[in-house]
Amino acid sequence: MRFYTAGKIWHAPRFRQLRDDLGFPVNARWIDLDSLHPIVVYQKDLLWQMCLEDVTQSDFLLLYCGDESEEQRGALVEIGMALAAGKPIYAIGHCKSIRPNSISDVAFTHHRLWTWLETDDLFQGTIQALAIELKKRVRHEINHQVA
């Protein structure tokens, strides 16, 4: 089981920590590219192709909002990729871009594939999302064994 991490660029070190130090199956190559990497500077089309491939080859997307004032940009595109690919989305925390306001009810957060996790902590949210996905897999296996 692999998951894609979406969030602001300054959270990349925390996403790498999930993968490198804690052994979680993070599938997001963008977290290894700093702001001066040639792909980031000169080949944004390739960067977005990498993101699309990683989202669609993951089992779910984990969105992390570390602060209420954050405004997501790329993560909104990645969320759209995940929805189009039928991938579940698990949201940790809240931020400006995914909070209803006077001009938007952020309808995409009401999609059947969207789940708000009951934590603002990245590690706890990762555990919660993995547990939900594992339960789904076990239920699926049991149902197919019974049938």
Report the alpha-carbon distance of residue 28 to residue 31 in Å, rounded.
6
The structure tokens listed for 132 are: 């939900």
Look at phi and psi of residue 117 and say left if phi exceeds 0, alpha if psi is from -120 to 50, else beta.
Answer: beta
Task: Name which of 132, 88, 137, 131 is nearest 113 in CA terms.
Answer: 88
Task: Name which of 122, 132, 130, 134 is nearest 15 in CA terms.
Answer: 122
Q: What is the pLDDT of residues 74-105, one digit of tens each?
A: 999 999 999 999 999 999 999 988 888 889 99
Report the alpha-carbon distance of residue 97 to residue 72 in Å, rounded.
6
Q: Is the pTM above the cut of 0.95?
A: no
Q: What is the pLDDT of residues 24-72, one digit of tens each?
A: 999 999 999 998 999 999 999 999 999 999 999 999 999 999 988 999 9
Is 85 within 8 Å of 61 (Cβ atoms)? no
Number of domains in the chain: 1
Band (pLDDT 50/70/90 cuts) for residue 147 is low
Within 10 A of 39 (CB to CB), how many other CB atoms are there?
15
Q: Look up the domain containing 25 and give its range.
A: 3-146
Report the alpha-carbon distance of residue 48 to residue 117 in Å, rounded.
27
